[in-house]
Amino acid sequence: MENNYLADLWNSSPIVCVVLTGLVLLLVESVRRGSGRLSYAVSLVGLASAGVLIVAVGDVAQPAFNNMIVQGPYAQFFTVIFLVTGILTILLSRGYLDRQGIHRSEYYLLVVFAISGMMLLAYAMDLIVVFLGIELMSICLYILAGFMRTRGTSMEAALKYFLLGAFATGFLLYGIALIYGSTGTTNLEQIAKSFAEHSASPMFLVGVSFLLVAFAFKVAAVPFHMWAPDVYEGAPTMVTAFMSTGVKAAGFAAFVAVFMRSFQYAGSPVNDVLAAIAAASMIIGNVTALAQVNLKRMLAYSSVAHAGYILVGLAAGNADGFMGILFYLVAYVVVNVGAFGILSLVEDSNGQKLSYDDYAGFSAQRPFLAALMSIFMFSLAGIPPFAGFFGKYYVFLAAVKADMIWLAVLGVLTSLVSVYYYLRLVILMYFREGSGDVAVRPTWAAMLSIGFAAYLVIQFGIFPSIVVDAALKVF
Amino acid sequence: MDLYAIIFYLFAVITLGSATIVVFSKNVVYSAFALLFALFGVAGLYVLLMADFLAITQLLVYVGGILVLVLFGVMLTTKVFDVQMKTKTIQMVPAVAILGLLSGTIVGVFWSTDWYISENPIDVAKTAPQIGNMLLTTYLLPFEIASVVLLVALIGAAMIARRERKG
Amino acid sequence: MISVEQYLALSAVMFVIGVVGVLVRRNAIIVFMSIELMLNSVNLTLVAFSAYLGDVTGQMLVFFVMTVAAAEAAVGLAIIIALYRIRQTVNIDDINILKW
């Protein structure tokens, strides 16, 4: 078998670029010890050049490395999400890390390697690459969750995330093993082909359900969401931001790729299970979020609920559903980076000032930030004309088209519930007197990235066609 | 019963017995040593399944590497985790229920599936060359990713476990 | 000759023992060892399939699983030790971890 490895390298050049950035960061750390500022600059340049490469490579679908990965519009779409998330996270992180006294260059290195793992998930055409991509991403995040080594809650979050993550890996691998056993391959394309020849064996369905457990864990869907609130609360706020956006998007990149490319032939039992998980996530996520006092926990449960909304699109299993998922993810990721960014600005150096009450009267002290936070909350609640509204609209529409009207109705009802806890924050910021001791010292980079996130939320809300066109090209 | 079957059942009993001790033993040190036997039993089963090279790797990586790490972990942290252990009891009833239900389902599915069994068994003499060949051709990309995973784990473990520079 | 089902059943039981360990034990290191049991049973499944399918790919996959298991072991035990260090110096009473 002849291989043109140069062509393969070119097709995978965005991933290669990100990995190389990570290696350069390692060198920077060893040459100029503790130089956080240099690492900050290098990681931004590296991610930006990966962005240039992803455009240069083009969107013609091309397999590479013996069909292990495939470059194409799907990979491109998700890579752009990961790179934008990564850049915004890094811009916001520097000031946050300084305030918390943990500004070390390893942070950037781990974020960059985590992004390379996420990109592999979007490119993956083989279950082995899915597995290794998830591991590369997760191992970086286990460490990032415990980045505040002196704070007990951060280390507890790291341990909990690690143990449950490794547990989910066990399920992922057992699923892969059973699928390998029943089809003789791990390549997604060939798995799909083996269905065309003979129908799914019960063994294969067991394998698929094990994969489902693993993915549900990674995207924090009920009943595998229990880790999310504690880990989100304990991890450093910007790491939580990265987790709830990048990791969730990457989890869905793999989830959708695997189910779209090969398992859709497995038929309706899988879709029914997905619908049940989606429904449970929407109900439990939204109802539990109502009771939260801490904003990080509230956003954690809200992220469980949003995983449910995205799964509605996957359960629908039609082209509208997949398009809806992509739009929803873009809207969700942008909003969450912004919202967590503001939380990270208000948080003090002891990890306090994260509850609802700390935001009372926030608009009087920081009118601009309060306005941006309100935009993010409106978008999360799905109120037009912000991006979140169209995300929900598209996935619910897909559910209706797939004759899952009950799921769409449930989605709308739970969205109404969510309005309460999102708008509670807005009301507190605007209509309550605060104690006035919130000290916010945002850096320019942080303000710029939060502003940019808000701009995108409005832009995609008013002109959703920008994202829709890009998403339609994918399928 | 031929010799192959006797050896299989021997290793199966060693593996499952030690696995049970790992999970249900009240003493972490016993668990760690039971893990040694479980890993050893699995290595024996690899040999029966014509995976000679893997059996050796299993001994080197798991028994020689991971188990030693676990033992270090046990020795460095016993004090704290002892405190916790005395306050918790193992809920045997739900544990056995899960064990029976889940393994019953999976095993039932195994028996109801018609397995495709190849006429051409693996050539034991060639497993190592074949694996080496595949690692550098078909599986080149996963091989490279695995190296990045190890690098990240190395950096991360060193960063998180070392002491603070100041105080 | 032992049939493939017997190997698979053995590894399934081992996998479930690992799952039970993760669910019922509260000691971080024992949970970690239970996860190692799960990964080993996956490897056994892969090797059994590989032998009966006459295809070395299954053995190949085991190498990647082992690599990742080693990486996870390093990171996981580093986290456990770092946590221990904080506990020892800070407060041993507020162990509210591992209640999931």
Stretches where chain B sits below pLDDT 50 are 82-89, 166-167
B89: left (phi over 0), alpha (psi -120 to 50) or beta: beta
Nearest CA-CA partner of A450 in A79, A92, A113, A158:
A92
Q: What does the pLDDT read at residue A310?
A: 95
Strongest mean pLDDT among A131-145, A212-226, A428-442, B99-113: A131-145
* Secondary structure class of A62 (helix, strand, coil): strand
Q: Which residues of B touch A128 (CB under 8 A)?
A: 139, 142
Taking the C-alpha atoms of residue C80 and residue A166, their distance in angstroms, rounded to an integer, is 14
Which residues, in sequence order, are CB contacts of A330 under 8 Å at separation 6+?
A: A81, A387, A391, A460, A467
Q: Which residues of C touch A152 (CB under 8 A)?
A: 83, 86-87, 90-91, 94
Helices vs. strands in chain B: H and E counts, helices first: 7, 0
Q: What does the pLDDT read at residue B164?
A: 64
Nearest CA-CA partner of A164 in B75, B82, C19, B152:
C19
Taking the C-alpha atoms of residue A84 and residue A264, their distance in angstroms, rounded to an integer, is 30
Mean pLDDT calculated for residue range C88-97? 46
Taking the C-alpha atoms of residue B13 and residue B24, their distance in angstroms, rounded to an integer, is 16
Q: Please report whether residue B105 resides in a domain.
A: no
Q: Please report whether residue C33 resides in a domain.
A: yes
Q: What does the pLDDT read at residue B44?
A: 94
- Which one of B28, B63, B90 terminates a domain? B90
A69 phi and psi angles, rounded to 5 deg: -130, 160
Q: Please report whether residue B100 resides in a domain.
A: no
The reply to whether A142 touches chain B by the CB within 8 Å rule is yes
Q: Please report whether residue C100 resides in a domain.
A: no
Task: Please name the chains neighbouring C, where neighbouring means 3+ C-beta pairs under 8 angstroms.
Answer: A, B
Q: What does the pLDDT read at residue A194?
A: 82
Q: Please report whether residue C99 resides in a domain.
A: no
Tens of pLDDT, residue by residue over A253-308, are 999 988 887 766 556 678 888 999 999 999 999 999 999 999 999 999 999 999 99
* Band of pLDDT at residue C90, cut at 50, 70 and 90: very low
Tens of pLDDT, residue by residue over A24-83, are 999 988 887 767 889 999 999 999 999 999 999 988 888 889 889 999 899 999 999 999
Helix axis angle for A405-431 and A367-381, nearest 10°, is: 160
Mean pLDDT calculated for residue range A163-190? 92
**What residue numbers bound the domain in which B49 lies?**
1-90
**What residue numbers bound the domain in which C65 lies?**
4-89
Q: Do B76 and C78 touch (CB under 8 A)?
A: no
Q: What does the pLDDT read at residue A459?
A: 93
A162, A168, A305, A336, B8 from A288: Cα distances, Å: 24, 23, 10, 19, 50
Total count of domains within chain B:
2
Q: Exposed, middle or buried: residue A277 (CB in 10 Å: 0-12, 13-18, 19+)?
A: buried
Q: Do A180 and C76 touch (CB under 8 A)?
A: no
Nearest CB to C28; choose among A142, A159, A227: A159
The reply to whether A155 touches chain C by the CB within 8 Å rule is yes
Taking the C-alpha atoms of residue C91 and residue A419, their distance in angstroms, rounded to an integer, is 40
* Band of pLDDT at residue A369, cut at 50, 70 and 90: very high
Q: What does the pLDDT read at residue B79?
A: 58
Mean pLDDT calculated for residue range A437-451? 86
Q: Please report whether residue B68 resides in a domain.
A: yes
Q: Do B155 and A110 touch (CB under 8 A)?
A: yes
Asked if the model's pLDDT at residue A381 lies above 70, the reply is yes
Q: Please report whether residue C97 resides in a domain.
A: no
Q: Please report whether residue B116 resides in a domain.
A: no
Structure tokens at B21: 């001790």
Which residues, in sequence order, are CB contacts of A194 under 8 Å at separation 6+?
A: A183, A184, A185
Q: Are residues B83 and B129 in the same domain?
A: no
Answer whether A146's CB lies under 8 Å from A206's CB: no
Mean pLDDT calculated for residue range A109-121? 96
Out of A229-238, A345-354, C47-56, C66-75, pick the least confident: A345-354
State the ipTM, two decimals: 0.92
Q: Are residues B11 and B76 in the same domain?
A: yes
Total count of domains within chain C:
1
Nearest CA-CA partner of A255 in A188, A195, A165:
A188
Q: What does the pLDDT read at residue A357?
A: 86
The reply to whether A162 touches chain C by the CB within 8 Å rule is yes
Nearest CA-CA partner of A450 in A301, A355, A346:
A346
- DSSP, residue by residue, A371-407: HHHHHHHHHHHT-TTSHHHHHHHHHHHHHHHTT-HHH
Better-scored residue on pLDDT, B44 or C54:
B44
Tell me the average pLDDT of chain A: 90
**Exposure letters A256-267 (e unless 16+ CB within 10 A, then b):** bbbbbbbbbebe
Q: What does the pLDDT read at residue A202?
A: 81
CATH number at residue C17: 1.10.287.3510
pTM reported for the whole predicted model: 0.94
A43, B40, B45 from A117: Cα distances, Å: 15, 33, 33
Mean pLDDT calculated for residue range A322-350? 92
Answer whether A334's CB lies under 8 Å from A457's CB: yes
Q: Please report whether residue B148 resides in a domain.
A: yes
Q: Which residues of C touch B156 (CB under 8 A)?
A: 74-75, 78
Asked if the model's pLDDT at residue A252 lies above 50, the reply is yes
Asked if the model's pLDDT at residue C94 lies above 70, the reply is no
Taking the C-alpha atoms of residue A60 and residue A460, their distance in angstroms, rounded to an integer, is 25
Q: Do B160 and A202 touch (CB under 8 A)?
A: no
Q: Which residues of C touch B119 (CB under 8 A)?
A: 54
CATH number at residue B50: 1.20.120.1200
* Band of pLDDT at residue A104, cut at 50, 70 and 90: confident
* Band of pLDDT at residue A156, cut at 50, 70 and 90: confident
Answer whether A198's CB lies under 8 Å from A165's CB: no
Closest residue in chain A to residue C60, using alpha carbons only = A128
The reply to whether A117 touches chain C by the CB within 8 Å rule is no
The helix (run of H) or strand (run of E) holding residue B59 is: none
Q: Do B155 and A129 touch (CB under 8 A)?
A: no
Taking the C-alpha atoms of residue C62 and residue C57, their distance in angstroms, rounded to an integer, is 9
Mean pLDDT calculated for residue range C79-97? 63
Better-scored residue on pLDDT, C36 or C90:
C36
Q: Please report whether residue C85 resides in a domain.
A: yes
Own/partner contacts of B73-77, CB < 8 Å, gap of 24 or more, are B73/C29, B73/C32, B73/C77, B73/C80, B73/C81, B74/B28, B74/B29, B74/B32, B74/C29, B76/C81, B76/C84, B77/C29, B77/C80, B77/C81, B77/C84
